[in-house]
Chain A
Amino acid sequence: MTQTASRPGAGAQQVPLPLDVEAIRADFPILSRTVRDGKRLVYLDSGATSQKPRQVLDAERWFYENVNAAPHRGAHQLAEEATGAYEEARAKIGAFIGAPENEIVFTRNTTEAINLVAYALSNAATAKEPEFRAHAVGQGDEIVVTEMEHHANLIPWQQLCERTGATLRWLGLTDDGRLDLSDLATVVNERTRLVAVTQQSNILGTINPIEKIVARAREVGALVLVDGAQSVPHQPIDVTALGADFLVFSGHKMLGPTGVGVLWGRYEVLDALPPFLTGGSMIEVVRMEGSTFMPPPQRFEAGIPMTAQVVGLGAAVDYLNALGMDKVEAHERALTGYALEKLAGIPGVTVIGPPDTVARGGAVSFTVEGIHPHDVGQVLDDLGIAVRVGHHCAWPVVRRYGVPATTRATFYVHTGYDDVDALADGIRAAQKFFGTV
């Protein structure tokens, strides 16, 4: 049943939701459990990790019960079928973002995908193969990030600069939670080797104008890495239209299993990079004196891969495709608009991030006057509502906006207006409990 009912006097507008929330909830076994003494689970923490529909769990179980074997080695039937399942999932996941399968590298998660690129750029400087040195980073070079980045898209670049003597520069933020691009032309310059930027902020919800950054990077010949951890699960993405060189994302935030992430890279860029992790699977010829490596994507997939998880992520992509990513995006936009209106109606609540749904995703961070986010989260938890509290692995962002931490609600395909209502009621309960109203 689509939730359209409007509560009299509730204020915020409930437009009909594009997704059938009740039908979708039936696919998520965990949503039928209760928490904290029989309360319905109101899961508003999909931005940290999403829940998994039965179809994804079934796919993993199917793999282990029917075809489990090490892919890309062995000549027996199971090995063939396991390889087939793994590579079919790669093609499917590539198609989900408009990429050919040979541009899809599986990693442990977004964090590892970013580290893969950062280490490849420093390994390039000392690579014995001249063809791997094209993107080497060294002294005098600059890496550009933004003040909005998750730690996963900040620390690897700080570390790359410390290893190589390159300089880290960054784009700042405006007071209304947007990237400050006023100095884009000077921060991204002829010395810039790579720009790393998030497509959707995990804390502010801001959707960044990647096209402007890509255009400037192209003028100076810099690579662009887009952190899609919070965008790929929530909006349609086509890497050709995106125009970047790398897109990274995690399976577990898009209904898939933990332990699998994706690095997409333009083939000619991937092909010019040396490996990050080395070992089995990624080699061409091995001699005691030295070895040569496979072309991408195998060059970057050392060791037995996370086969069952990749198959599970393939099932997650099927699930999202069946819903339609346009609808997923519209669904979350409706919920976000509703949530922003509801929160604006609670005295003492301040949203940290864009105040409306223009170029904005569904991460809604807020503070409640007089109550620390931990305490807000504790009261919500007591009511069965799961949110994230703290600095959300984006410490510079909370510092920029002068708050120690925030409470964050994030939405997904099973989220309905009833969940947002529960959040608003819970915030009021916290205010009552701590006597701030």
Chain B
Amino acid sequence: MQLESMYQEIILDHYKNPHGRGLRDPFDAEVHHVNPTCGDEVTLRVKLDGDTVADVSYEGMGCSISQASVSAMYDLVVGKPVTQALETGEHFMTLMQAKGDPAVAEKLEDELEDAVAFAGVSKYPARIKCALMSWMALKDASARALSTAPQTGGSN
């Protein structure tokens, strides 16, 4: 069975016990993203504190991969500067395009923490979108939050 390469124990743990799930107030931007090929959905809110991601809260329905991905993302980005969070998203995208190349996963392991477990997903083109949906939603919500939120915590 090759299934274990996709469904790493870490992924199943996030799926069964998601971190940070639920929509919370206050927030600066809310987005709703869908995967039109399968109907998976996520509603995601971002709260910024200056340039820092103060909170990401979400509700969604979808497969284990999409649900585990948003949970792992929550762990990675909350408390980080927005620019770093988005950079991590870019690196997660790189991992998803790696077609299962272990060298790519190894290089990104320290930065992506639990999310590096999704390396196996990159071997299944139909499932890559599932893993990426929440990261796309974060990128979208962050951009909106940055363009609309009043600048707080800055001196000017």
Contacts and interface: CB of A to CB of B under 8 A. Distances in A.
Contacts of A382: 1-3
Nearest to B4: A433
Contacts of B3: 378-379, 382, 433
Interface in A316-366: none
Given A382-B1, A405-B38, A433-B7, A374 B61 contact: no
Contact of A390 (B6, B7, B12, B39): B39
A76 B100 CA distance: 55
B38 A375 contact: no
B40 interface: yes
B39 A395 contact: yes
A382 B40 CA distance: 22
Contact of A389 (B2, B38, B61): B38
Query: Which size class do B's interface residues fall under?
Result: 10 to 19
Given A374-B38, A374-B130, A404 B2 contact: no
A378 B6 contact: yes
Give the one of A372, A373, A382, A395 with max B CB within 10 A.
A372
A391 interface: yes
A47 to B, nearest CB: 16
Interface in A362-395: 372-375, 378-379, 382, 389-391, 395
Nearest to B60: A404
Contact of B40 (A379, A404, A434): A404
Contacts of B130: 374
A414 B127 CA distance: 29
Contacts of B41: 404
Contact of A378 (B12, B39, B40, B127): B127
A373 to B, nearest CB: 8
B2 A398 contact: no
Give the one of A374, A379, A391 with max B CB within 10 A.
A374
B152 interface: no
Contact of B64 (A36, A375, A389): A375
Contacts, number: 48
B83 to A, nearest CB: 32
A378 B38 contact: no
Nearest to A395: B39
Nearest to A379: B3
Query: Which size class do A's interface residues fall under?
Result: 10 to 19
A395 B65 CA distance: 21
A37 interface: yes
Contacts of B61: 404
Given A374-B63, A374-B127, A391 B6 contact: no
Contacts of A379: 3
Contacts of B2: 36-37, 382
B102 to A, nearest CB: 19
B150 to A, nearest CB: 37
A398 B2 CA distance: 30
Contacts of A433: 3, 7
Interface in B1-43: 1-3, 6-7, 12, 37-41
Contacts of B38: 373-374, 389-391, 405
Given A390-B39, A395-B39, A405-B38, A372 B64 contact: yes
B109 to A, nearest CB: 24
Contacts of A374: 38, 40, 62-65, 127, 130
Interface string A21-65: 000000000000000110000000000000000000000000000
Nearest to B64: A375
Nearest to A383: B1
Contacts of B6: 378
B39 A391 contact: yes
Give the one of B6, B37, B39, B65 with max A CB within 10 A.
B39
B63 A375 contact: yes
A398 B63 contact: no
Interface string A394-423: 010010000011000000000000000000
B39 A404 contact: yes
Given A37-B2, A389-B38, A404-B39, A378 B124 contact: yes
A211 B101 CA distance: 57
Contacts of A372: 62-64
Interface string B51-84: 0000000000111110000000000000000000
Given A372-B64, A375-B7, A375-B64, 5 more contacts: A374-B65, A374-B130, A378-B3, A390-B37, A405-B39
Shortest Cβ-Cβ A-B pairs, 7 listed = A374-B63, A372-B63, A390-B38, A391-B39, A382-B3, A404-B61, A405-B39
5 contacts: A372-B62, A372-B63, A382-B3, A390-B37, A433-B3
